[in-house]
C-alpha cells in the first residue's frame, strides 16, 4: 500500500525510462552500473517565466533550463534573479528587484522507485505546469536617468541637424551653375554646412552600430512583442536610447543600447520599464562592432 501511495505522487516516466516528481523535470539521459542501477542522470528543468524578462537574469545553461546537467556534477541549482540588480541600476537608471529573489532546486534519485525527485524552495515558487511567477518592484537612479535623457535629447537634435544640412546640400547641388562666382559661392556654402555638422567620433560609432545592428535590434523587440501577445500581455515600445563612451583607445568605443516600454496584463495598468538591447564594442577605424554582453550576443545572432 505504501508503494502505491508513493507512486501516486510521481509523474509518468519520460523518454529515458525514469519517473520524476514534477512534470517540468525531464531526464535526458542516465548512466547505469553492471547491475542496472542508475548512478547518474542528466536532468533538465522545462520552466517558463512571468514576467518573461526575469529569465534574462539567469544563465539558462548553467541553471539546467536550456540544457541538461549531470546530477553527479550539480545536485543543486539556485535561480538568482537579483544578482545583476546593482549593476543594472547604475548602468540603465532603472532596475527590477524580483520576489522571491532566489529559488533553490535540489535533485535526488531513488533507485528502488526508479524516480528522480526535485525539491523546490520556496515550496510554491513553481506551478505544476512549470511557471515561475514573480512579483517585482522597479527602482530608479535619478542621476543616471537624467544623463540618459540628456543623451537622448542630444541625439535627437543631432539627427535633425544632419537631416537639415543634407537637405540644404542637396538643394545647393541641384541649383544651376550660371556663373563662376555663383559656383564659388555655392561651393563655399556647401563647405560651411558640412563643417557645421561634421560628425564626431561618437556619432560615427552610433551610425556604425545602427547600420550593422539596427535591424537586428528591431527584430529582437518584434519577437519580444510577439511573445507578450501569446501570453495575452501588452508590450508598448517607445524611445530608444543609445550612448557611447570612449574605451581609452583611439576610434574605439563602448556603446550601450536600451529602450523604454510599457508592459502589463491590463492595458489600463501598464508599468514603465527599460529593456536592454545590449552593450557593444565599436571600432570606427576597422568598421566593426562586437557584442560584449549576453543580451548583445543574443541580438547579434538573430537572422
pLDDT for position 14: 63
Percentage of the residues of the chain whose pLDDT score is greater than 90: 30
The Cβ of residue 64 has, within 10 Å, a number of other Cβ atoms equal to 23
Residue 75 sits at φ, ψ, to 5 deg, of -95, -10
Query: Residue 276 forms beta bridges with which residues?
Result: 258
231-278 tens-digit pLDDT: 778 888 888 888 888 888 888 999 999 988 888 877 777 888 888 899
Q: What does the pLDDT average to over 192-215?
A: 74
Surface-to-core class of residue 272, CB atoms within 10 Å of its CB (0-12 exposed, 13-18 middle, 19+ buried) = middle
Q: Is the pLDDT of residue 197 over 60?
A: no
pLDDT for position 247: 83
pLDDT for position 135: 92
Q: What mean pLDDT value characterizes the chain?
A: 82
Q: How confident is the model at residue 198 (pLDDT cuts 50, 70, 90)?
A: low
How far apart CA 245 and CA 300 sit, in angstroms, is: 20
Instruction: Report CA torsion sign: 190, 195, 200, 203.
Output: negative
Q: Is the pLDDT of residue 101 over 90?
A: yes
How far apart CA 241 and CA 277 sit, in angstroms, is: 10
Q: First-to-last CA distance in the chain?
A: 56
Choose among 129, 112, 122: nearest CA to 45.
Answer: 129
Surface-to-core class of residue 80, CB atoms within 10 Å of its CB (0-12 exposed, 13-18 middle, 19+ buried) = middle
Cell (9 digits) for 167: 537637405
How far apart CA 250 and CA 275 sit, in angstroms, is: 30
Instruction: Note whether 236 and 267 are within 8 A (CB).
Output: no
8-29 tens-digit pLDDT: 444 555 656 788 999 999 998 8
- pTM of the prediction? 0.56
Instruction: Note whether 132 and 77 are within 8 A (CB).
Output: no
Instruction: Note whether 75 and 108 are within 8 A (CB).
Output: yes
How far apart CA 43 and CA 105 sit, in angstroms, is: 12
How far apart CA 220 and CA 276 sit, in angstroms, is: 11
Three-state DSSP at 290 gives strand
Instruction: Note whether 43 and 27 are within 8 A (CB).
Output: yes
Instruction: Note whether 85 and 97 are within 8 A (CB).
Output: yes
Amino acid at each position: 500500500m505504501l508503494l502505491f501511495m508513493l507512486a501516486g505522487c510521481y509523474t509518468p516516466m519520460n523518454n529515458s525510462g525514469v519517473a520524476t516528481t514534477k512534470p517540468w523535470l525531464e531526464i535526458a539521459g542516465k548512466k547505469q552500473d553492471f547491475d542496472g542501477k542508475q548512478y547518474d542522470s542528466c536532468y533538465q528543468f522545462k520552466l517558463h517565466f512571468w514576467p518573461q524578462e526575469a529569465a534574462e537574469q539567469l544563465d539558462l545553461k548553467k541553471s539546467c533550463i536550456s540544457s541538461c546537467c549531470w546530477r553527479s556534477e550539480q545536485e543543486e541549482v539556485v535561480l538568482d534573479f537579483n544578482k545583476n540588480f546593482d549593476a543594472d541600476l547604475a548602468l540603465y537608471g532603472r532596475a527590477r528587484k524580483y520576489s522571491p529573489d532566489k529559488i533553490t532546486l535540489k535533485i535526488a534519485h531513488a533507485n528502488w522507485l526508479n524516480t528522480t525527485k526535485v525539491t523546490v524552495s520556496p515550496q510554491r515558487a513553481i506551478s505544476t505546469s512549470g511557471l515561475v511567477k514573480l512579483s517585482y518592484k522597479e527602482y530608479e537612479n535619478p542621476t543616471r536617468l537624467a544623463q540618459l535623457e540628456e543623451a537622448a535629447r542630444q541625439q535627437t537634435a543631432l539627427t535633425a541637424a544632419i537631416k537639415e544640412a543634407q537637405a540644404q546640400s542637396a538643394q545647393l547641388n541641384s541649383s544651376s551653375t550660371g556663373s563662376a562666382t555663383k559656383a564659388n559661392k555655392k561651393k563655399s556654402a556647401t563647405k560651411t554646412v558640412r563643417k557645421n555638422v561634421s560628425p564626431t567620433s561618437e556619432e560615427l560609432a552610433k551610425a556604425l552600430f545602427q547600420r550593422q545592428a539596427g535591424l537586428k535590434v528591431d527584430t529582437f523587440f518584434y519577437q519580444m512583442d510577439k511573445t507578450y501577445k501569446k501570453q495575452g500581455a501588452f508590450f508598448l515600445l517607445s524611445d530608444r536610447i543609445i550612448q557611447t563612451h570612449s574605451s581609452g583607445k583611439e576610434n574605439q568605443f563602448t556603446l550601450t543600447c536600451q529602450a523604454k516600454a510599457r508592459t502589463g496584463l491590463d492595458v489600463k495598468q501598464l508599468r514603465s520599464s527599460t529593456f536592454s538591447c545590449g552593450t557593444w564594442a565599436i571600432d570606427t577605424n576597422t568598421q566593426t562592432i562586437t557584442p560584449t554582453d549576453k543580451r548583445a550576443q543574443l541580438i547579434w545572432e538573430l537572422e
